[in-house]
Amino acid sequence: MHRTLVVGVASRGGPWINAVKAHEKFELSGLADLNAEILVKRGEESGIRPENRHLTLEDALGSGKYDVAVVVTPNHIHYPVTKQILGAGVHCLLEKPFTEEYAHAEELVRLAEDKKLVLEIGQNYRFKPICRFVAEFIRGQKLGRLSGIEASFHRHRPPRFEHERVMRFPMLYLQAIHHLDWMLSILPSPVVEVFSRHRRAPWSEWREPSICHFVLRCQDDVMVSYRGSYESQGEITPFDGLWRFEFERGDLLINGNRQVVQVTDRGAKTEVLYAVGEDESSGEAELLDGMDEAIVGGVEPPTSGRRNLETLKMLFKIFGQE
């Protein structure tokens, strides 16, 4: 059993606490958070003794009680927190996005390699059953060759904290990076060209642009068109987004009901191939599987820090900062 510390127990920390407790290879051994009230609440809920509830990371790491840390802190402190954890000789599963600076991500990858530690990034969308179904469909060329992808994501999502309000490209960092990571994992060939435009709506509560359009061209000329917005005042999409995959013999859609629909015969025939169930996995268990296999068997996870550099680099190209 891997003795596991969850760092940052508010919001997304809750699902991670549950995921660690439910996994047969991991033991929820401790919690760390700066907020004493939420730390007590989560500790009582999860059965963690007071001596294993830490108000500082220094106290947690200094105890020597933990083999793995799951980091669920705000994005802007991912780098220093992860650096401290790896420096203490503890494996790290870090929530997305990796870091806000590409050079910091490269540094953390090198540090993990030097210390022979596992660094995994929590890009869980690619492990969702609906996303895996579509990935297998594309690989199997069940409607022939892929021609293009259109994706749309729009919700009303104002900033919840000051550090969010001032962050760069919030919709891309907080949500679209999930879509981008999955997309890069299923495209048949590498992306060779990027075009993007960003906008801040006049009524936006975000300081930086929260609306983004980008187009990717792949080596095989497959084209990807994506639009994302945190400013929708009308209909909202599921967090998975809306997708249309165009093939030589028809289309595959992910619709607003979280169904995968095949459309053929120029629209005359439709068939629901997959529908998301109520208790469907959201990918945390698969990420923990990857961490266990890396620690025990030396198998690099699909979303290792090293591999996630590709996603982060593409994100910075979309920012127009590379």
Q: What pLDDT is attached to residue 260?
A: 97
Q: What pLDDT is attached to residue 296?
A: 98
Q: What pLDDT is attached to residue 321?
A: 64
Q: What pLDDT is attached to residue 273?
A: 98
Find the DSSP H helices in the chain: 13-22, 36-46, 57-62, 78-87, 102-114, 129-139, 162-165, 170-171, 177-186, 284-297, 305-319
Q: What pLDDT is attached to residue 302?
A: 97
> Which 3 state secondary structure label does DSSP give 127?
helix
* Each residue's pLDDT tens digit, 152-173: 999 999 999 999 999 999 999 9
* Each residue's pLDDT tens digit, 33-80: 999 999 999 999 999 999 999 999 999 999 999 999 999 999 999 999
Contact 24, 49 (CB under 8 A): no
Q: Does residue 284 have a pLDDT over 90?
A: yes
Burial tier of 278 (Cβ tally within 10 Å: 0-12, 13-18, 19+): exposed
When pLDDT is cut at 50, 70 and 90, the band that residue 11 belongs to is confident
CA distance readout (Å), 183 to 27, 148, 219: 32, 12, 15
The residue assigned the tokens 């917005």 is: 229
Architecture per CATH, domain 2-122+284-302, reads as 3-Layer(aba) Sandwich (3.40)
CA distance readout (Å), 188 to 88, 141, 195, 228: 39, 10, 19, 23
Contact 232, 249 (CB under 8 A): no
When pLDDT is cut at 50, 70 and 90, the band that residue 322 belongs to is low
Q: What is the mean pLDDT of residues 306-315?
A: 97
Q: Where are the domains of the chain?
A: 2-122+284-302, 126-275
Q: Does residue 135 have a pLDDT over 90?
A: yes
Pairwise CA distance, residues 8 & 42, whole Å: 10
Contact 311, 179 (CB under 8 A): no
Under CATH, to which class is 126-275 assigned? alpha beta
Question: Kind of pairing, strands 119-122 and 242-247?
Answer: unpaired
Contact 69, 4 (CB under 8 A): yes
Q: What is the mean pLDDT of residues 248-260?
A: 96
When pLDDT is cut at 50, 70 and 90, the band that residue 15 belongs to is very high
